C-alpha cells in the first residue's frame, strides 16, 4: 500500500503547514527527529512562563515552513532554485537543532565537555545521510556553509535566518511576551539575493529593525530572565553533584544512555571516533533528566536530594543581577549565611554561583544583515538605518549575577 507522505499539519503559529517531499516525511518520522518532541525549546522558562512548553520538534517544523516560504519568494524574484535545492534547504533547517540534548542550551556544556549542539547536529546529519544513501549530501553542504550558493547557508544560519525567525515568533506566542512580536511575513517578502548574498530590500528596513529590537527584548525578558537563570543553575548543580558522586564510586539511578555521560567526560573527538557515544546521545531527552531528579530527591546525599526536592517544588535559588561584577563583601556575606545553615566550605560551590550573561542585539561584521537600497547599493543595516537604536544594538551588554540557595538547610 502506498503511503501519502505529502502530509498537512496544523501549527498553532502559522496554521496549515505542508510536508513537500517523501524524504522530508521520512526524516521527520525517524527516531532521531522524533526525539525532539521530548526536548522543550526553552529549557526552564516554564518556571516563569507556564505556557512555554513547546518543543524543539515544533520549532524545527516551523523553521522548515518559513524556509519554504522564503525560497518561494526568492524564486518569484527570478532566482533559479531547483527542486533538489528546495528540498535540501528545507532538510538543512529541519535538522539544524537535531543535535540538542536534554533541556536544550541549559545542559549543553554540562552533560558534554565543551561540545556545541551544532557539531552534534552535523554528526547526526552525516549518520542520516549514510542511512538514506547520500540523499542529504546537498543539505549537509548548505548546513556547513560549503555549498556554492552562499545565501542558502545564510537562510539557515545568520543574524536573519529562518531559525531566529521561527523561535522569536514561536517563543513570543507561547510565553505571551508581546514585546517579542516580529513581522515575519513582511521580512520574508522583502528578502532578495544580490551577488549570491542574502539581502533585505529597503522597504523591509523597519521590519528588520523591529526584529532586532524584539530579539534583544526577548533575551532580557525570556531567555535570560533571572528566575529562569536560578532554575537552570539548580539543574546544572544537580547534574554536577551526580557526576561527582559517580566519580566517587557511588551508585545513582540513571538510564543506560545518561549513565554514559554522567560517568565520562565526552569530548567532540570522542563523538567523532566512537559511534556508541552518538548512539547513546540520540536516546537522551528531558524525561531522562526529570526521572533522575524525581528519584534523586530521596538519595542519601543531602546536597543532591535537597536541590532536587527544591527544584521539583519550585523553591528556587535567589539571584542578584548587576551591571558590574558582584562585589566581594556581598559574596562573603552570602557564603557566611550559608555556612550558618549547615553547609560546609566544601559544599558551598553547590549553593552559590557567580556568572554573567550578555545580550548582543546585532553584531557588525558577523554574518552581516545587508540592506539593498533603492539605488541597488548593498549596505550593512547599521549604516542603512537612521535609528540610533540599531547602532546601540551593536554594543554587547553584559550583566553579572550571583545565585544562591537562600532557603536551603542541610542540618
pTM, whole model, 2 decimals?
A: 0.95
* Cα 14 from Cα 182, distance rounded (Å): 13
pLDDT in tens, 213-242: 999 999 999 999 999 999 999 999 999 999
Instruction: Report how far residue 384's alpha carbon sits from residue 377's, in angstroms, rounded to the nearest whole number.
Output: 10
Which domains are assigned to the chain?
A: 8-225 (1.10.3210.10)
What digits encode the pLDDT tens for the residues 137-170? 999 999 999 999 999 999 999 999 999 999 999 9
- State how far the Cα of 195 lies from the Cα of 178, in Å rounded to an integer: 36
Cell of 69: 516560504
Cβ neighbours, 10 Å, residue 247: 12
Distance CA(199)–CA(380), nearest Å, equals: 10
Half-sphere CA count of 172, side-chain side, radius 13 A: 20
What's the mean pLDDT in 106-120?
A: 88
Q: Scanning the structure block, which residue is given the C-alpha cell 553533584?
A: 241
Estimate to the nearest angstrom the gap between the alpha carbon of 202 and the chain centroid: 30
What would the pLDDT profile of 275-328 be if each residue is shown by its tens digit?
999 999 999 999 999 999 999 999 999 999 999 999 999 999 999 999 999 999
- Give the pLDDT confidence score for residue 364 in this predicted structure: 74
44-68 average pLDDT score = 97
Q: What is the pLDDT of residue 185?
A: 96
Q: Report d(CA 72, CA 351) in Å as an integer.
A: 52
CA distance 66 to 168: 12
pLDDT at 113: 80
End-to-end Cα distance, the chain? 66
Instruction: Give the mean model confidence (pLDDT) for residues 125-136.
Output: 98
Euclidean distance between CA atoms 94 and 62, whole angstroms:
8
DSSP 366: S
Whole-angstrom distance, CA of residue 112 vs CA of residue 101:
9
**Distance from C-alpha of 136 to C-alpha of 109, rounded to nearest angstrom:** 28
Per-residue pLDDT tens digits for 241-277: 999 999 999 999 999 999 999 999 999 899 999 999 9
Is the pLDDT reported for residue 109 higher than 80? yes
Report phi then psi at 122, rounded to 5.
-60, -40
The phi, psi pair for 43, rounded to 5°, reads: 55, -110
> How high does pLDDT run on average in the chain?
93
pLDDT at 1 over 70: no
Distance CA 61, CA 38 (A): 14
Rounded to 5°, angle at Cα 32 from 222 and 40: 20
Amino acid at each position: 500500500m502506498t503511503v501519502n507522505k505529502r502530509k498537512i499539519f496544523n501549527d498553532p503559529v502559522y496554521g496549515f503547514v505542508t510536508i513537500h517531499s517523501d524524504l522530508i516525511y521520512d526524516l521527520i518520522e525517524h527516531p532521531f527527529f522524533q526525539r525532539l518532541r521530548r526536548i522543550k525549546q526553552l529549557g526552564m522558562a516554564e518556571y516563569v512562563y507556564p505556557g512555554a512548553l513547546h518543543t524543539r520538534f515544533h520549532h524545527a517544523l516551523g523553521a522548515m515552513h518559513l524556509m519554504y516560504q522564503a525560497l518561494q519568494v526568492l524564486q518569484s524574484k527570478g532566482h533559479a532554485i531547483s527542486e533538489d535545492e528546495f528540498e535540501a534547504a528545507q532538510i538543512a533547517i529541519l535538522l539544524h537543532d537535531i543535535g540538542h540534548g536534554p533541556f536544550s542550551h541549559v545542559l549543553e556544556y554540562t552533560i558534554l565537555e565543551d561540545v556545541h549542539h551544532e557539531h552534534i547536529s552535523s554528526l547526526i546529519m552525516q549518520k542520516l545521510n549514510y542511512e538514506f544513501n547520500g540523499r542529504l549530501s546537498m543539505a549537509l553542504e548548505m548546513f556547513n556553509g560549503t555549498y556554492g550558493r552562499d545565501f542558502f547557508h545564510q537562510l539557515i544560519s545568520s543574524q536573519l535566518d529562518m531559525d531566529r525567525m521561527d523561535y522569536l515568533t514561536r517563543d513570543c506566542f507561547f510565553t505571551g511576551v508581546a514585546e517579542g512580536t516580529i513581522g515575519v511575513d513582511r521580512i520574508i517578502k522583502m528578502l532578495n539575493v544580490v551577488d549570491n548574498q542574502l539581502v533585505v530590500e529597503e522597504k523591509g528596513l523597519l521590519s528588520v529593525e523591529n526584529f532586532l529590537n524584539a530579539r534583544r527584548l526577548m533575551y532580557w525578558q525570556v531567555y535570560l530572565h533571572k528566575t529562569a537563570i536560578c532554575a537552570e543553575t539548580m539543574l546544572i548543580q544537580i547534574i554536577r553533584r551526580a557526576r561527582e558522586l559517580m566519580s566517587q564510586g557511588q551508585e545513582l539511578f540513571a538510564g543506560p544512555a545518561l549513565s554514559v555521560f554522567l560517568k565520562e567526560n565526552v569530548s567532540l573527538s570522542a563523538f567523532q571516533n566512537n559511534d556508541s557515544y552518538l548512539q547513546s546521545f540520540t536516546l537522551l531527552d528531558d524525561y531522562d533528566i526529570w526521572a533522575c531528579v524525581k528519584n534523586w530527591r530521596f538519595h542519601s546525599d543531602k546536597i543532591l536530594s535537597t536541590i532536587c526536592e527544591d527544584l521539583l517544588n519550585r523553591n528556587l535559588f535567589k539571584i542578584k543581577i548587576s551591571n558590574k561584577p558582584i562585589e566581594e563583601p556581598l559574596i562573603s556575606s552570602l557564603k557566611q549565611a550559608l555556612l550558618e545553615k549547615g553547609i560546609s566550605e566544601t559544599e558551598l560551590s553547590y549553593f552559590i554561583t557567580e556568572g554573567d550573561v550578555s545580550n548582543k542585539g546585532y553584531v557588525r561584521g558577523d554574518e552581516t544583515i545587508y540592506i539593498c537600497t533603492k539605488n541597488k547599493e548593498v549596505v550593512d543595516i547599521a549604516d542603512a538605518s537612521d535609528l540610533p537604536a540599531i547602532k546601540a544594538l551593536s554594543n554587547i551588554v553584559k550583566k553579572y549575577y550571583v545565585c544562591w540557595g537562600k532557603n536551603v538547610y542541610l542540618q
